[in-house]
Amino acid sequence: MMLFNSLSYILVFLPFVFFSYLYLTKNNHFVSAKILLLLSSIFFYGMWKPKYVSLLILSLIINYAIGTQLKQVKHRKIFLIVGIVINVGILCFFKYTYFLIENMNYIAGTSFHVSEYILPLAISFFTFEQITYLFYCYNSNTVSLLDYSLFITFFPKLIAGPILYPEEMIPQYVNKENKTIDARNIEAGLNLFFTGLFKKVVIADTLAAVAINGYDKMGELTMITSWATALSYTLQLYYDFSGYTDMARGAALLFNIHLPFNFDSPYKSTNIQEFWRTWHITLSRFLRKYIYIPLGGNKISGSKTYLNLITVFLIGGLWHGAGWTFILWGLLHGVAMAVNRMWQTTEHKMNKYLGWFLTFNFVNITWVFFRAKDFSAVVKILTGMSGYYEIREILATRELNLNMIIAALKNSLHNFRLTFDSAASYYYYIFILAGSLIFSIFFKNTNSISKDKVPSYTDTFTFLVLTIVSMVYVFYDINVSKPFLYFNF
């Protein structure tokens, strides 16, 4: 697999495609330039598992054929439904067959055996984009096979989004201004790319070590260790996924393609609805447009609206993974959205600081269900976060006083420090944890980087420092190249 944070991608693949594309467009070979991007994207995908390239190409052929027929057949809606069922069916076959058989065996006491398939990379993302394309064709839009194929496979966003609509991307191919060299896009793209790289290799991968240790390696966790574990994953996921999105948007800008925002400072949110308007924005809008609104949205009775919200988030949980922890995670967020909507129907207003505190902690705690491999890991983390072991220790002494509480907390902190190889690594982790938390709550995000503006000297210097530090990490493999977390979904 050729990762965005690998030397082969940064120093070989991306520069080769970029300069080849520039050469072709400069000499007015625009069709050849698009073919170059298409072939490069398929090659990029094939670096993971070459055998699944055929699945990607087959998906392209099937959906393009269906999309073409949607303009001609008499019963267009039925044909559209068939196309959606085919796409969802392929996704379900690879993603949920093993999960369904395993649960059926458990419930019915049967012993059916099916091998667990390796989930084809990006199938969850390009399946949703194929569905948006079918709706695009249903509304009587036509595109060439080349433009359609490039829309689906464009390598910067192929693996983990953002999830695009055809009308957002395809028109950019034919825009005359996008066929020329744009220094502003190149500068903004490089700034975005290396900012995302910094977020991934310096912040996310540093926090990952604590999250992995707490979730997967350790037994009973003290309160401080469990909170550090949960918080590390909460921040790791944000900086990992938003870092990927920044790198995707930055790489796309090199080719004059503007991809939509996918994050807008979600950890600043003061309620759960605001969180889902700013977290994985393109997934949220897809679920809203193609599931929530067709179910009736909020234009029906209150109880049905709440049921629709919960249904959408259950589907969102299942989309992320075939497991009961994902289903419960989706259910919890669906219920939270319903409760938030109930609250909005009252005349009460919540203090924004209290709203932020409740929202952040709810999100932080529910990420435990999202990250844990099974419910035993959920119980382990949540038990530790509750302070159960410290409370048990205090009660065992039969002396409940402030000194005993302070002593228990000091012991909890001491046990957490022992999980690090050295004092230096511990303090470095604290610095990254505190810094990343502060930046995610109090500072502006990277969305403004790609807007038309002249960067200040301070901006340029900052991006230069981020680039140098990131490349040092990549060259020396300080955190060891790790796949992006959303590659698993």
The token pair that represents 16 in the structure block: 């080769």
User: In angstroms, what CA-CA distances link 442 with 236, 291, 362?
Assistant: 17, 34, 19
Place of tokens 């698009």: 34
Give the integer Cα–Cα distance in Å for 359 and 108.
Answer: 40
Catalytic residues: 320
Give the integer Cα–Cα distance in Å for 297 and 444.
Answer: 32
Cβ(283)–Cβ(316) below 8 Å: yes
Give the integer Cα–Cα distance in Å for 67 and 145.
Answer: 10
